[in-house]
């Protein structure tokens, strides 16, 4: 499959605030915000409070297929997704590297926050308790994997903390 070359990939664990930041960036730049969840039609394959993924590889195949029908080569996109997910056993797992080979991101961005805050946000949103230790392991795995991918593709790595996305906005304007 042919790779994309117009995707800025922004990741982070569930509840970290990616969606909010992406909407703000899209409103102030020429990037078009799309979410992996919308492309996957997550609401059709899982309940909204289920963060566990039965078959990560299959899900990523659906994502690539959905994007290939959505992406216009003449536009630039901010794809909001994940570098890692919780598998069906609630164990953090990296997204297949092949997915990122096809996405061919122009930039790797990760949103991070205090996992205690994230756990409270998720609990309020999903009406369910989350294991802070698992969330911390997931976030740390996401950060390390995002750094690795930025080196692999020789693209910029930006870490967004405390909603400070000015550096990203300056690059994408």
The H or E element that residue 86 is part of is strand 84-87
Greater pLDDT, 52 or 165: 165
- Determine which of 36-40, 82-86, 127-131, 134-138 has the lowest per-residue pLDDT on average: 36-40
* pLDDT, averaged across the chain: 86
How sure is the predictor about 46, in pLDDT bands with cuts at 50, 70 and 90?
very low
The string of pLDDT tens digits covering residues 71-93 is 888 999 999 999 998 887 888 99
Q: Is 13 helix (H, G, I), strand (E, B) or coil?
A: coil
- As assigned by CATH, the class of the 7-35+74-172 domain is alpha beta
Q: Tell me the pLDDT band of 158, cut-offs 50, 70 and 90.
A: very high
Q: Taking the model in full, what pTM does it have?
A: 0.87
| pLDDT of res. 75 | 93
Question: Over 90: is that where the pLDDT of 154 sits?
Answer: yes
The 10s digit of each residue's pLDDT in 9-27 is: 999 999 999 999 999 999 9
Dist. CA 150–CA 45, nearest whole Å: 30
- C-beta of residue 17 within 8 angstroms of C-beta of residue 120: no
Tokens encoding 49: 């409070």
What whole-number distance in Å separates Cα of residue 64 and Cα of residue 100? 10
pLDDT at 54 over 90: no
Examine the pLDDT at 129 and tell me if it is beyond 70. yes
Neighbours of 123 (CB within 10 A): 13
């Amino acid at each position: 499959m042919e790779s994309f070359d117009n995707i800025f990939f922004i990741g982070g664990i569930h509840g970290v605030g990616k969606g909010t930041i992406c909407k703000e960036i899209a409103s102030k730049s020429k990037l078009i915000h799309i979410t992996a969840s919308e492309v996957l039609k997550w609401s059709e394959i899982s309940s909204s409070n289920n963060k566990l993924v039965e078959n990560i590889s299959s899900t990523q195949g659906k994502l690539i297929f959905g994007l290939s029908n959505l992406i216009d080569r003449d536009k630039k996109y901010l794809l909001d997704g994940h570098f890692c997910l919780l598998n069906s056993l609630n164990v953090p797992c990296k997204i297949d590297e092949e997915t990122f080979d096809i996405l061919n991101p122009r930039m790797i961005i990760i949103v991070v926050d205090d996992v205690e805050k994230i756990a409270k946000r998720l609990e309020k949103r999903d009406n369910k308790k989350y294991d802070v230790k698992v969330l911390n392991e997931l976030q740390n795995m996401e950060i390390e994997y995002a750094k690795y991918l930025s080196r692999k593709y020789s693209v910029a790595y930006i870490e967004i903390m405390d909603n400070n996305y000015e550096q990203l906005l300056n690059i994408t304007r």
